[in-house]
Structure 1
Amino acid sequence: MLKLKVPDMSCGHCASTIEKAVKSVDPAAKVIVDLGASTVAVETKANDAAIRDVIKSAGYDNEKLAA
């Protein structure tokens, strides 16, 4: 599972935007958002770089966390 710190994510709209972006790469991905911790966990078959890139393209910086 890919775990990311997304410091700019602060509301439900942000979370929804990130989830839609991830699902554009892998429609079957499981996306778990923790707004309080500003983290996103993604269970996906897509590679990490593709997920990180699409979140960045949606306007959100992100940093990979240790699993």
Structure 2
Amino acid sequence: MGEKVGAVLFAAHGEVDAVAVIAHCREHLADFKVPQYAAVVTGALPRNAGGKLLKDRLRGQVRWEAPLR
């Protein structure tokens, strides 16, 4: 309903090619599920004591670039 899809890619070792990841998603996912934005992070993702991802904190840390599609 008007929301944009974004992907946060974690690069543990080396670099991640965000454009290649989006191309892979286009081949295997429905169009509305393909991320329009991608951000690569190298630090640990914020998690709570139970190991769940803290999405609100992650949204505040990520700097989105221009849309990829």
The bucket for the TM-score relative to the shorter chain is: 0.3 to 0.5
TM-score (ref. length: structure 2): 0.32
TM-score (ref. length: structure 1): 0.33
| Structure with more of its chain in strand, by fraction | 1
Report 1 or 2 for greater relative contact order, CA contacts < 8 Å, sequence distance ≥ 6. 1
